Amino acid sequence: MPTRPLPQGEFIALVAMLFATIAYSIDSMLPSLPVIAQALVPEDPNRAQLILTTFIFGMGVGTLFSGPLSDRFGRRAIIIGGGVIYSIGAIAAFAAPTLEMLLIARVVQGLGAAGPRVAAMALVRDLYSGREMARVMSFVMVVFTLVPAIAPLLGSGIIAAFGWRAVFLSFVVFSAVSVGWMVLRQPETLPPSMRRSLQPSALWRAMVEVLANPTVRRSVMVQTLVYGCLFANLSASQQVFDISYGRGASFPLWFALIALVAASASILNARIVVRVGMRRLVTIALLVQLLVSAAMAASLGLLPGSVAFYAYLVWCIGVFFMTGLTIGNLNAIAMEPMGHIAGMTASVTSALSTVASVALAAPVGLAFNGTPVPLMIGVAGFAGVGWLLMRQMPK
């Protein structure tokens, strides 16, 4: 086991890649959704969106367990175990004969992905706190954003060369690289003397302590709404580009552009969060998203085709940009008073916000009617509620 601390640059890159397990598992699937729909559910192609939301659901459920387990057995063990479960789910999805079996495999895959997600967040909290943690998380998000930029391109290349099922095998390779890097280079950050019991009474007390904190509760609610904006947009984005604007063939390139431009949000956040403050920054970002989404939903139908497409593109970038200005800060806000139970806090906040956001996002994504207007209305509503909640956030 390695014992020397990683240089901060390598640590940020490693955590970003562990986080990116989620992004790659979602975004690389986007180009395959029409092909999978044609192969497995040609009578109802909208159901192919569930390949994304079932993975997210499994990941949300998994985070409820991976945090306490990482507090008991250490961060490294949970990252390794999660990688194994994730790979088993990916292999099962590769072999699935029906959409229903594929969705079950994606839930398993999501359960496994929760290990690297939560344990990597706890790694950061073990080493950093407060606004410095938010700064590190912002740099993590910069590196992390490169994966969504290239994932659809990689997915479309794999599909063209080997077929859509091969995308699932690429998940196994991705996990082997990221987990292997961690095993070889990252020391354990939670010493045995600080590990917590898995006794039900101890877990219950820790969970009650997390949920009793008003700052944590408010952060979870706002995270749920921000994730709802993001996941609804992701679920329907390929259909919007293809069906609404006839640009399905070039979708991976447009998505890469969206991700790369949106990455500047994390750079901006890293530069200004210490000066402006996490709460104020999140509040402003949500208000801007509310106003822009409401205006776009009201005016999109009045615009000519090409202008409407570029207006939608700018709006889509704005949703990702807003995420870059909020999620890292909201995580830091929730984790700051809970350093002594960082794993449980990461678990509870991630599980609740992710599972609840799927319940919000799935109906909005499935409401796709040939235009992005239902998406814009849904995002405006989520951002508006989030803005109101942030105005009441405890200081």
Neighbours of 385 (CB within 10 A): 18
Using alpha carbons, select from 251, 78, 109 the residue that is nearest to residue 174: 109
Sign of CA dihedral 361, 362, 365, 367: negative
Alpha-carbon gap, residue 108 to 106, rounded angstroms: 5
CA distance linking residue 228 with residue 48, whole number of Å: 18
Measured between alpha carbons, how far is 94 from 109 in angstroms, rounded to an integer?
A: 11
Output the six-digit token pair for 147.
Answer: 């994966």
Instruction: Classify residue 5 as left (phi > 0), alpha (psi -120 to 50) or beta.
Output: beta
Q: Report whether 33 contacts 161 (CB < 8 A).
A: no
* Lookup result for tokens 């292999």: 91
H or E element at residue 79: helix 75-95
Check residue 309 and give its pLDDT. 95
Report pLDDT for 109: 97
- Per-residue pLDDT tens over the stretch 145-198: 678 888 999 999 999 999 999 999 999 999 999 999 999 999 998 888 888 777
Per-residue H/E/C for 232-257: HHHHHHHHHHHHHCCCCCCHHHHHHH
3-class DSSP assignment, residue 183: helix
Which residue shows structure tokens 């229903």? Answer: 100
Q: Among 278, 297, 288, which residue's Cα sits nearest to residue 387?
A: 288
Architecture of the domain made up of 8-187+201-391: Up-down Bundle (1.20)
Rounded Cα distance, 380 and 386, in Å: 10
DSSP state of 47: G
Question: Distance between CA 304 and CA 123 in Å, rounded?
Answer: 49
pLDDT at 343: 64
Q: What are phi and psi for residue 137, nearest 5 degrees? A: -65, -30
CA distance 342 to 206: 10
Angle at 13 between CA 11 and CA 19, to 5 degrees: 100
Give residue for tokens 């990702």: 320
Q: 214-239 and 251-262 helices cross at what angle (nearest 10)?
A: 150
Q: How far is CA 382 from the centre of its chain?
A: 17
pLDDT number for residue 202 = 67
Which pLDDT tens digit goes with each residue over 245-270? 999 889 999 998 988 888 788 778 87
What's the number of CA atoms in the CB half-sphere (13 Å) around residue 145? Answer: 27
Q: State the virtual CA torsion across 28, 31, 33, 37 in degrees, nearest 10.
A: -140
- The distance of Cα 296 from the centroid of its chain, to the nearest Å, equals 25
Tokens of 269: 């956040």
pLDDT at 268: 86
d(CA 105, CA 86): 9
Determine the 3-state secondary structure of 267 from DSSP.
helix
pLDDT in 10s for each residue of the chain, 395 residues: 777 878 888 998 899 899 889 889 999 999 999 999 999 988 888 888 899 999 999 998 998 888 888 888 999 999 999 999 999 999 999 999 999 999 999 999 999 999 998 888 888 888 887 777 777 877 787 677 678 888 999 999 999 999 999 999 999 999 999 999 999 999 998 888 888 777 777 668 777 888 888 988 999 999 999 999 999 998 889 999 999 999 988 999 999 898 888 878 877 887 888 788 889 999 999 999 999 999 999 999 899 878 999 999 999 999 999 998 898 889 888 887 777 776 677 778 878 898 899 999 989 988 888 899 999 999 999 999 999 999 988 77
- Give me the residue spans of the domains in the chain: 8-187+201-391
- Return d(Cα 201, Cα 87) in angstroms, integer: 32
CA atoms within 13 A on the CB side of 165: 12
